[in-house]
């Protein structure tokens, strides 16, 4: 039991950078490039951690605390997410609210750190990030509420646990709609392409990346790692919702889960390769669309 819990925590902590490597590799292959190694992010993190950080004189402790709190919040959220249908480390009724708000806290401190630099450029990024987040959040909550209603459970472990399979049999259309909405939210929350482009720098169009321009060394490592962790969390949520393979054995389930996560990363890579970034004015439309889809899903369930 202890071994299994340790394995799950290990998976949560170690796998995320690899998933981003997969996304980048898929994008490179589609574009006809060779692309960075799959494990590139691990090397980047190691390099950044061994460096010192540079702080502007205008910044305060808020700027320094941002990355650490952000990473801690995302990691704590991760402990509430069940991996491969097994109960999570922490689980209680209503934990999905805390889950969503821990993610929101991470975003809040990142935005605060960006504002603390006093740079108008970063302030703009923070403004954009927060205004889009304010539209992604209702969608995320609605998806979670749909899942709670469908499975009759108020904790993430229950929602994504054994009750999911019968819920699919009873309310497939509603869950399908909310899965689509969740995918859109996942793309937006992780600053992926139709919403934001993680590869641009110094472009007036970017949102998330602009906020972290002033961070360096270990702080930047925390931020990059936190981002990959968040990607992992949404991936885990999504694959569990749409692809409940229902394998009985623990190790078989874990293996299937890892394969599914890689599949999710490939899917995101393909979407990024074949879609153009939306104009900023179209982003709210997409997010509101996701919310409306989830509302519709909820209505179908409540009938």
Partner 1 sequence: MGAWTDMAFILVVVLDLFLLASSRLGAAIRAVALQGALLSLLALLLTSSGHSPGHMLVVAGGAFLIKAILIPWLMFRAIREMAIRREMEPLVGYVPSMILGGVGVVLSFAFSRGLPLPTHEMHPFLVPTALATVWTGLLLVVSRRKAVTQVLGFLVLENGVFVFGLLLTDFMPVMVEAGVLLDLLAAVFVMGIVMFQINREFASLDTDALSSLKD
Taking CB under 8 A as the criterion, the residue among 75, 143, 212, 295 binding partner 1 is: 295
Stretch that binds partner 1, among 19-27, 31-39, 198-206, 294-302 (CB under 8 A): 294-302
Question: Judged by CB under 8 A, does residue 296 bind partner 1?
Answer: yes
Q: Which two tokens stand for residue 134?
A: 């304010």
**According to the binding rule CB under 8 A, does residue 285 interact with partner 1?**
yes
Considering beta carbons, is residue 207 or 256 the nearer one to partner 1? 207
Of residues 36, 123, 194, 289, which one binds partner 1 by CB under 8 A? 289
Q: How far apart are CB 285 and partner 1 at their closest, in Å?
A: 5
| Minimum CB–partner distance for residue 277 and partner 1 (Å) | 17
Give the residue from 145, 94, 151 showing the smallest Cα distance to 296.
145
> Which one, 68 or 300, has the nearer CB to partner 1?
300
Q: Binding to partner 1 by residue 118, rule CB under 8 A?
A: no
The distance of Cα 41 from the centroid of its chain, to the nearest Å, equals 17
Among 19, 130, 177, 195, binds partner 1 (CB under 8 A): 177
Torsion-angle region of 32 (φ positive above 0: left; ψ -120 to 50: alpha; else: beta) = left
Q: Which residue has the tokens 């491969």?
A: 84
Stretch that binds partner 1, among 45-53, 240-248, 252-260, 284-292 (CB under 8 A): 284-292
Considering only residues 135-174, where is the footprint of partner 1 by CB under 8 A?
Answer: 172-173
Range list of H helices, 243-278: 250-274
| 214 DSSP assignment | T
In contact, 195 and 207? CB cutoff 8 Å: yes
Long-range contacts of residues 202-206, Cβ cutoff 8 Å, at least 24 apart? 205/277, 205/280, 206/125
Among candidates 203, 150, 148, 184, which has minimal Cα distance to 271? 184
Question: Where on the chain is the footprint of partner 1 (CB under 8 A)?
Answer: 172-173, 177, 284-285, 288-289, 291-293, 295-296, 299-300, 302-303
């Amino acid at each position: 039991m202890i071994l299994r819990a340790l394995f799950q925590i290990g998976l949560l902590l170690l796998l995320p950078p690899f998933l981003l490597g997969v996304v980048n590799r898929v994008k490179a292959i589609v574009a006809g490039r060779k692309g960075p190694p799959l494990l590139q992010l691990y090397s980047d993190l190691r390099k950044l951690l061994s460096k010192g950080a540079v702080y502007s004189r205008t910044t305060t402790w808020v700027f320094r605390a941002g990355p650490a709190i952000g990473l801690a919040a995302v990691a704590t959220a991760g402990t509430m997410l069940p991996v491969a249908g097994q109960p999570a480390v922490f689980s209680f009724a209503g934990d999905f609210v805390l889950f969503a708000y821990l993610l929101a806290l991470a975003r809040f401190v990142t935005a605060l750190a960006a504002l603390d630099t006093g740079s108008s450029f970063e302030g703009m990024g923070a403004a954009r990030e927060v205004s889009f987040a304010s539209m992604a959040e209702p969608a995320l909550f609605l998806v979670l509420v749909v899942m709670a209603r469908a499975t009759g459970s108020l904790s993430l472990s229950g929602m994504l646990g054994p009750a999911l399979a019968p819920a699919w049999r009873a309310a497939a259309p509603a869950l399908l709609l909310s899965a689509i909405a969740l995918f859109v939210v996942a793309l937006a929350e992780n600053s992926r392409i139709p919403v934001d482009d993680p590869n641009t720098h110094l472009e007036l169009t970017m949102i998330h990346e602009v906020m972290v321009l002033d961070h360096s060394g270990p702080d930047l490592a925390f931020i990059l790692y936190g981002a990959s962790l968040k990607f992992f969390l949404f991936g885990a949520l999504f694959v569990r919702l749409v692809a409940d393979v229902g394998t009985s054995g623990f190790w078989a389930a874990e293996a299937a889960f890892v394969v599914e996560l890689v599949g999710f990363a490939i899917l995101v890579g393909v979407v990024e390769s074949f879609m153009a970034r939306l104009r900023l004015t179209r982003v709210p439309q997409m997010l509101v669309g996701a919310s409306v889809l989830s509302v519709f899903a909820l209505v179908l369930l409540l009938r």
